[in-house]
Chains A and B, each alone.
Chain A
């Protein structure tokens, strides 16, 4: 039976976690490799279908599984359901790194001796989030043609698979996922908001365990592919929910738990500067995407789509200016303005790194609302595309000729507003908590609230004005 564990922290406050792996059925399903592999194979099948139909099927974006199943179905499921409620669970079944990983391990299930590959450690210089920040921005700049043309989507996915294979054969473990994947940086940041976590039950048990098989591996499983040390794991950012540590720990000390949403966002801890920057780049990107794709200016959209042209260069410069300079600069100003309210000396850098996690709920809400709006408009493409995946005139499900039916109306508009405002409220609460922790109080929180309000205003203007 699952017991709601109520351990008390050093300060005596209550934390509520539900340990799902206390349920024998849940634990055995997660430890067994079969169920996970089954889901992974389904994901691989989906990826192959998407690549094949993207390369061979119709070039019409609204009728090809490559564009519809990836950017409408999968993206919406990811941003609206998977990440907010299950954290990095998708990473545990994502098909992109799997071919490389299987080659690297030389096995699909339990370890069977050495696989292929050099197993080199990832270069120290390239660790951290800067590479992923850059990868995300670059992909974002080229995204409009990729989103709308099946062939380009297929080539992007095939390219990522090939890069992942190459990286897996040169470097150790899941270096691609941890340090390169553009989606991964995104998911990792927002996974902090989710109510699901993988943690050790009692760190003292880990301290006494000398072989640390959760990191080094054993006959039962591989050492953490995400290069994380489970005993000291306190945040969802880098844990890819691959469940290896659940299998390798001989002391049954690893648990999958439900916890309050946003528990990884701690008002008392500053984050590293690269993580703070990621948080700012992502919220800036959400705003720019919303304005470009859903806003009233078709000239802006045309510029974003005409990759390589002079107008696109202007758009790219503007995009970079806003996401890399303007939004972070504004946030730095906002967090610096209230510094005098603190009772101790606070550097601008520390202020930025303390307040940056507060943007996670609002940023996640921005992406979720943006995705929901887009998906409601285009969800009616999914059944026709499944009915005629390669554009040969099939009618497998009888839905090939279903007309486009956008879902919208007042209810949809208010749903988007509700999501954004929920994120805003939650972020505002965290901002207050950080300000109080820094002894700056409401006066310190005000400018940061102002920043959040500006971002919210921009989003609302695009969604419902």
Chain B
């Protein structure tokens, strides 16, 4: 057999070699190439128990675009960078979604999952460390609860509880002027409603009012120091981030509540594992100030399963949420 004439067997073997080598080679090269690409970073999203974001630490430079290819490996996830106003991206399982992020300021940014993916959904977070540029001089501001000296982990029973659900509308119609020290927003957020009620009850301007009417005034104080826009934003933030554990009606009985309680390692007073707070219970809610609530949301629950939202929500969003929580005590029931 000369070199010029290949038998059919040899042709067949060449064909087999092409098939047996080309297919796996092509697949492997493509896969290897995708993982080594320096242009775009591929991030796999998995539920926290299976690893969360892989990788979960990225580096970037100020001004240079960071190209990301995001793909979910199991269920629907979402991607967003904390404290930014960019729209979150939905990640349908198995489909690659591309995005580019550009940072103006150096610092540490947190990215997180925006679609509920199980009890540990909130743990699905990562960081992007952005270097370069000149850092803006920011003054360090203590959270309000710290400057007010509030211990946000202590129990806060209410010293007084209304018999009837207070109504801000009724409070407004009373036409009573608030005394000095109760008129501004900062007055409202620093004091628990029960304490406010005690003080208003003793004040001369409320002498002719019943206890319930004074509660209505407390409700009105809340309503008048916040805006419709803030309450709407709070409502939407609550639905997306809080309702799964705390329940759509704030009763601490959300769909994921049981799983959270079962997983929480630390216990508060008594042997029961802590469950998500019940915002409809006046005996605890009315003993907490907005500053305490905002602080709890900001810092989280120290192992109870309550996430820390500081890196995720802007200051305005945190206060909108705290304002919204009062609707479970004072809001109009439909």
Contact = CB atoms under 8 A, between A and B. Distances in A.
Contacts of A52: 23-24, 27-28
A212 interface: no
A53 B71 contact: no
The main secondary structure of chain A at its interface with chain B is loop
B93 A44 contact: no
B253 to A, nearest CB: 23
Interface residues of B, number: 25
Interface in A53-84: 53, 56-60, 62-64
B93 A392 contact: no
A209 interface: no
Contact of A44 (B12, B16, B95): B16
Interface string A361-385: 0000000000000000000000000
Contacts, number: 76
Q: Pick the most buried of A57, A64, A391: most chain B CB atoms within 10 A of its CB.
A: A391
Given A60-B73, A392-B30, A393-B98, A107 B9 contact: yes
Contacts of B239: none
Contact of B31 (A33, A110, A392): A392
A416 B120 CA distance: 42
A112 interface: yes
B264 interface: no
A109 B7 CA distance: 10
A321 interface: no
A391 B30 contact: no
B94 A49 contact: no
A49 B27 CA distance: 8
Interface string B115-126: 000000000000
B12 A109 contact: yes
A34 interface: yes
B98 A390 contact: no
A389 B71 CA distance: 14
A228 interface: no
A393 B69 contact: yes
B34 interface: yes
Nearest to A150: B94
Contacts of B73: 58-60
A160 interface: no
Contacts of A107: 9
A392 B94 CA distance: 9
Q: Pick the most buried of A59, A112, A401: most chain B CB atoms within 10 A of its CB.
A: A59
B48 to A, nearest CB: 16
A58 B13 CA distance: 32
B8 interface: yes
Contacts of B20: 44, 48
B33 to A, nearest CB: 9
Contacts of B98: 393
Given A52-B23, A52-B24, A60 B96 contact: no
Interface string B9-26: 100110110011001100
Given A45-B19, A392-B34, A60 B94 contact: yes
Nearest to B40: A393
A56 B74 contact: no
B28 A44 contact: no
Interface in A95-113: 102, 107-110, 112
A18 interface: no
Interface in B66-96: 69, 71-74, 93-96
A300 interface: no
Contact of B71 (A33, A58, A64, A102): A58
Contact of A48 (B19, B74, B94): B19
A59 B19 CA distance: 25
Nearest to A102: B16
Interface string A26-50: 0000000110010001001100110
Contacts of B16: 41, 44, 102, 108
B31 A390 contact: yes
A285 interface: no
Nearest 9 Cβ contacts at the A-B interface: A63-B94, A393-B96, A60-B94, A108-B12, A52-B27, A58-B94, A48-B23, A60-B93, A56-B31
18 contacts: A34-B8, A44-B20, A45-B19, A45-B23, A48-B20, A49-B27, A52-B27, A53-B27, A56-B27, A59-B74, A60-B94, A107-B9, A110-B9, A389-B27, A390-B30, A390-B31, A391-B94, A391-B96
Interface of B: 8-9, 12-13, 15-16, 19-20, 23-24, 27-28, 30-31, 34, 69, 71-74, 93-96, 98
